[in-house]
Structure 1
Amino acid sequence: MWSVPAGGDSEPVPHRPLPEERIAPRLAGHPVIDWRIADPHIKGETAGWSYAANESVCLATLSITTPDANAADLARHVYRQLLDLREALGFPHLLRVWHYLSDINAGEGDAERYKRFCQGRLEVLQDHPSLLDRMPAATVVGSQLPGLHLQCLLTRTPPQPLENPRQVRAYEYPRRYGPSRPAFARAARMAWPGAADQLFISGTASILGHETRHPGDVAAQLSESLANVATLLETAGEPFAGRGLTTLEHLIVYLRDPGDIDTVETVLADRLPPGLAWTCRQAELCRRDLLVEVEALATA
C-alpha cells in the first residue's frame, strides 16, 4: 500500500473508494497499488464526494455512473464541485487528479468524448486563472464502468508543477487535438512538511513534442514513455536528478490490449530498478494510436 507521508499508521480511505476493479481492472497476478492517508482526522461525505484528510493532504473521490452523459457536462459538473470542495475543506491546491471516463474514444473529430471532457474541464479552470498557472498532475484513461470517476489529492501548500522539455506543454497543443487543450502539468513536486519531497508523475505516453511516436509498437511506446518519466525526474532537480528511475516508489501501467502484457513485462524487467512495485491495468487511452501509458510516484 502507498501513502502520502505523515506519521502513524494508515488506513484505507475514503469511506467509499472508487470501484477500481470495475473501472480499470488489474491484469491477473498484478499487485494492488492504492492510496491511504495516514492519521486522518477529517472524514466525511458531501454532494457525492467522499473524503479524508490529515494536516497536510486530503484524498477525495467521486463516482458518477450516468450512462451516455455528455462528457463536457460531466467535466464541468465535477470540476465546479471539486473547486468548491477544496475551498470548503481548506485544501485549496490541486496536487494530483485521476480521471476515469467511459467510452473515452467514442465519437469522431471534436465530438470525441475525451476532447469534450477537455473542453468542459478547461472552461471551469479558465474561471480560476491562478489554477492555469499551477495545474495539477493528472491522468485521464478509459473506464469500463459508465460515467466519470475521480480521485484527487488536495493540499494546504502549493505543489510545484513541472513540464517535460521533450514535450510540448499540453495546454499549448495545436488545434488538431481538439477545440480545448488538455489542462494538466506533466508532473508536480510536493514538499511535505517534515517529510521527503515527492514527485507525482502524470499519465505519460509515447509522445515527443506533441506527436505520438511508434504507432503499432507497444514495446517501443513503453520505452519512450519511460524515457519521458526519466526526463521528468531529471527536470525535478536534486535529489531526483542523476539517479535514473531509482527514486520511483511505484509505477502503474495502463494497457489498451491485455494481450500485450508479456511484452510489457519483458520491457519493464529490463528497464526498472530491481524490486520496484508496479502494476498493470486495462484501459482505453486518450489517443486511439496510444497502446500504453504509465504514471509514477517518486520519493526523494
Structure 2
Amino acid sequence: MRPCVASLPPLDVRYEPVTAAVPGDDVLAVIGYGAAFESGTDPRVLRVALEPMSQPCVEVWRSTARVEHGRDGALCWSNDGDYGFFAIEIDEVDDDIGAAAQAAYRQLLVHVEASTTPHILRLWNFIDAINEGDGDDERYRRFCEGRARGMAQFHDACYPAATAIGGHDGRRRLLVYGLSAREAGTPIENPRQVSAWRYPRQYGRTAPTFARAMSTPAGQLLISGTAAVVGHASQHDQDLRAQISETLANLDSLVAAAQGRFGERAVLKAYVRDAADAQGVRQAIATHAAQLGEVLLLRGDICRRELLVEIDGMQDLPV
C-alpha cells in the first residue's frame, strides 16, 4: 500500500476532561464511559456503559467545519459534510441479541446510505454478557448472525473496521455507534491473521463481518479491536503477559501493512477482562510504544472467553 494521499481533512480525536462533555459547534461526537457519566440530551453525546480503569475522561471527535446534528427515530446523528457520527441503542426482546443486531444495523444503514456521508469507516458494538451461552448459542455468535442479516443490503465494496466488546451491567441493550465519510476508505488486513470474514465454521455459523483496520481518506488508520489471535486461533490461553505481547505484535504488523509505524500519533483504548490486570496492560503498552500519550483502559469482555485483553484505536499514517 502506498502512503495515503489525503482527500479529506483529518478528524481531531483525543481524550479530554469530563468537563468537555458540552460540545461546541465543531464537535462531531463526545463519548463518555461508565455509570457516573451523564450524556444529557445532545445527540452527539453518548454514554458507553464500560467502566474506566484510568482517570475519567471523555473521547472528543472534533471537525474542521460546523456540525449539524439531530435524531432519526432511535438513531442519533451528527454531520459536518465530510464525516458523519451515528449511534443507536436497541433493547433486546426475550434476550434475542441476534434480532436486536439485525434491527440496529438495518436502521443505521438506511440512515447512513441516505446521508451525505454514505461510506461507513468504523463501528463499535457493545453487548451485555458477550460470552454467555455455549457453542452456536453464545451471545457473540448470535450477534454476528444478526449483524450479517442486518448488513445483507450493505452497498459498500468492503467491510468497515469494527470492535465488539461485552459489558457487565445486566441490561440487555445493544449499543452500536460509528463513523462514516463522504468518500470511501481503504480496508487493511493483517498478514499475521486470517481475515475475519474467512474464519472457519468452528467459530460459528456466521463469520464476523469486519476489516482489521480502515485507512481513511484523511490518512488516518482506524484500528479494529485487536487481540492475541494468529491465523484464526487464539494464542496463550489465560496468559496475560504473553497475550499482550502477541496483541502488540499484531498491531505492529497491521500498521506496517498500512505503511505506518504503530504508536506514532496514536489514540488507543484497551479493553481488559479483569480489572486486576489493568496496570500490567498499561505498563506493557507504554514500554512497547513509549511515545504514546494516555491510553484509555476500560473493563470489558473480549469476544472469545479465553482472551484477556483487546486494543483498538486510531493513528495517523504517512502522507
TM-score (norm: length of structure 1): 0.88
Partner deviation per Cα, 1:207-239 (whole Å, 9 max, x = no partner): 0000001111112111111111111111012xx
2:264 corresponds in structure 1 to: 247
Is it true that 1:10 corresponds to 2:26 in the alignment? yes
Structure-2 residue corresponding to 1:80: 106
Partners in 2 of 1:295 and 1:222 — Cα distance?
Answer: 13
**For 2:252, what is the secondary structure of its paired residue?**
helix
Asked if the contact 1:95–1:153 (Cα under 8 Å) also holds between the matched residues in 2, the reply is: yes
Between the aligned partners of 1:247 and 1:103, the Cα distance in structure 2 is 34
Matches within 5 A, 1:140-159: 140-145=164-169, 146=171, 147-159=173-185
Letter in 2 for 1:230: D
Among the aligned pairs, what percent are the same residue? 33
**Which amino acid letter does the alignment assign opposite residue 4 of structure 1?**
L
State the Cα distance separating 1:31 from its structure 2 match.
Answer: 4.5
Q: Is the 8 A contact 1:248 1:296 kept in 2?
A: no
Report matched runs for 1:253-268 at 5 Å: 253-268=270-285
The within-5 A match list for 1:98-113 is: 98-113=124-139
SS at match of 1:252: strand
Residue 215 of structure 1: aligned partner: 237
Q: Distance in 2 between matches of 1:181 and 1:62?
A: 23
Closer, same or farther: CA 110–173 of 1 in aligned 2, 3 Å:
same
Please name the residue that 2:250 is paired with: 228
Structure 1 residue 135 displacement after superposition: 0.5
Which stretch of structure 1 is more off in the superposition, 74-83 or 275-284? Answer: 275-284
Mark the runs of 5 or more structure 1 residues left unpaired by the alignment.
none
Aligned to 1:274: 291
Contact 1:200 / 1:297 at 8 angstroms: preserved in 2? Answer: yes
Moved more, 138-147 or 172-181: 138-147
Contact 2:85 2:178 in 1 (8 A): yes
SS at match of 1:13: strand
Matches within 5 A, 1:129-148: 130-131=155-156, 133-145=157-169, 146=171, 147-148=173-174
C-alpha change, 1:32 and 1:221, in structure 2 (3 Å) is farther
Alignment of 1:200-211 (within 5 A): 200-211=222-233
Matched ranges for 1:11-30 at <5 A: 11=27, 13=29, 15-16=42-43, 17-20=45-48, 23-29=49-55
Quote the Cα distance in structure 2 between the aligned partners of 1:124 and 1:9.
32
Shift of 1:264: 1.1
Structure 2, unaligned runs of 5 or more: 1-9, 14-23, 31-41
**2-side partners of 1:296 and 1:248: how far apart?**
11
After superposition, the CA RMSD in angstroms is: 2.1
Q: Secondary structure at the match of 1:250?
A: strand
Structure 1 equivalent of residue 7 of structure 2: none
Q: In structure 2, how many angstroms separate the alpha carbons of the residues matched to 1:65 and 1:37?
A: 31
The CA deviation string for residues 29-87 of structure 1, in whole angstroms up to 9 with x for no partner, is: 36443434443432110111111111210011112244753111011101100110012
Helix, strand or coil at the partner of 1:59: strand
Instruction: Give the superposition deviation at 1:125.
Output: 2.3
State the alpha-carbon separation in 2 of the partners of residues 89 and 9 from structure 1. 19
Q: Say if 2:272 and 2:299, in contact at 8 Å, map to a contact too.
A: yes
Q: Confirm or deny: 8 A CA contact 1:11 1:36 kept in the other structure.
A: yes
Q: What letter is aligned with 1:216?
A: Q
Distance 2:231 2:166 in 1: 23
Q: Is 1:57 aligned to residue 83 of structure 2?
A: yes
SS of match in other structure, 1:33: strand
The TM-score with structure 2 as length reference comes to 0.83
Distance 1:220 1:31 in 2: 29
Distance 1:139 1:269 in 2: 22
For the residues of structure 2 that align with 1:182 and 1:136, how far apart are their CA atoms? 11
Say whether 1:175 aligns with 2:201: yes
What are the superposed Cα offsets for residues 7-48 of structure 1, whole Å, 9 maximum, x if unpaired?
x9733637233222xx11111436443434443432110111
1:187 Cα offset (Å):
0.2
Count, aligned residues: 284
